[in-house]
Structure 1
Amino acid sequence: MASITIRNLDDELKAQLRVVAAGHGRSMEEKARVILRQTLARHQKHGGLGSRIHSRFAAVGGADLDLPARQDKARAASFDG
């Protein structure tokens, strides 16, 4: 297992961590591990951008679109007037 040292930690923040840890029956180190684990888990990306957009709006419902079949080959956009 790895370990880290956190320097320049505010005394007030350390006191808050001690109180919260004691309230949960944990050591300050264990509580810090729990906080880091939970925070990093929330920031994990699951899937690509399209999947994340879909999951965000899935509860709202979808839209069924009738897309016409493509007749022509795709071509580059022209910005010349």
Structure 2
Amino acid sequence: MSSISVRRLDKETIERLRAQADRHGISMEEEVRRILRSAVSEPERLGDLAQATFGPKYGVELELPGHDPHEPCAPER
């Protein structure tokens, strides 16, 4: 596994990072790993996002129609 160092972070950013890590009950290093992992991960599909936001956990049952994923169309010139 590789390591990186990030230099020249301002104090406010460090304090916010520390506070966020405390809220999540993890170390600052783990918080940074999670932030970076999330920043470079594939975006969620809209249907998955809808289920996570409005799904059974929140008392809403959604039945989304199934379909094959598609590639976006190229813009017209």
TM-score when normalising by structure 2: 0.55
Aligned partners of 1:9, 1:21: CA distance in 2, in Å?
16
Matched residues in 1 for 2:9 and 2:35: separation? 16
Q: Deviations over 1:12-58 (max 9, x none)?
A: 00000000001000100000000000010046xxxxxxx4316xxxx
Residue pairs, 1:1-81, within 5 angstroms: 1-42=1-42, 51-53=70-72
Aligned residues: 47
The normalised TM-score by structure 1 is 0.53
Structure 1: gaps (5+ residues): 44-50, 55-81
Distance 1:40 1:34 in 2: 10
- Contiguous gaps of at least 5 residues in structure 2: 44-69
SS of residue paired to 1:9: coil
Question: Runs of 4 or more off by more than 4 Å in structure 1?
Answer: none
Provide the alpha-carbon RMSD of the alignment.
1.6
Distance 1:15 1:9 in 2: 10
* Aligned residue identity for 1:39: A
Higher radius of gyration, 1 or 2: 1
Amino acid at match of 1:18: R
